[in-house]
Amino acid sequence: MGLANVRAASSSSTVDTTIHVSPASSPIDPIPRYLAMRDDTNRVPRLALIEDYARSAGPDASTDLFAQAMLDPDEAVRSRAQDLFDRAIAARRTARLAHTDS
């Protein structure tokens, strides 16, 4: 579960509140996290990031993370990103077809 700090200032005091945000509803863009770890020789965190994003993203979610990961220096990451990208596009098509059929 992620944390977001919110500061509310009033005329006499400052209040700190921590809000717990679930990863699926978090508006945090995963691309900066991916880019920060892209040149690391350990591919496991990058694979975990794209896998987690694929699990939590809906059919209309951005595929930008997968596109970035398809340029990864590691072949295993590139291959998995391509697979997840293809699946996301197929799921999007299926969702649109189901919507037009109803």
Rounded to 10 degrees, the C-alpha dihedral 20/60/55/78 comes to -120
In-domain check, residue 13? no
In-domain check, residue 72? yes
pLDDT of the chain, 102 residues: tens digit per residue: 344 433 334 444 444 443 333 344 445 799 999 999 999 999 999 999 999 999 998 778 899 999 999 999 999 999 999 999 999 999 888 888 887 766
pLDDT at 28: 79
Residue 60: which domain range?
Answer: 27-101
In-domain check, residue 47? yes
Answer whether 55's CB lies under 8 Å from 36's CB. no
Structure letter (DSSP) for residue 70: T
pLDDT at 88: 93
pLDDT at 15: 45
Whole-prediction pTM: 0.69
In-domain check, residue 42? yes
In-domain check, residue 5? no
Answer whether 42's CB lies under 8 Å from 76's CB. no
For the chain, the domain total comes to 1
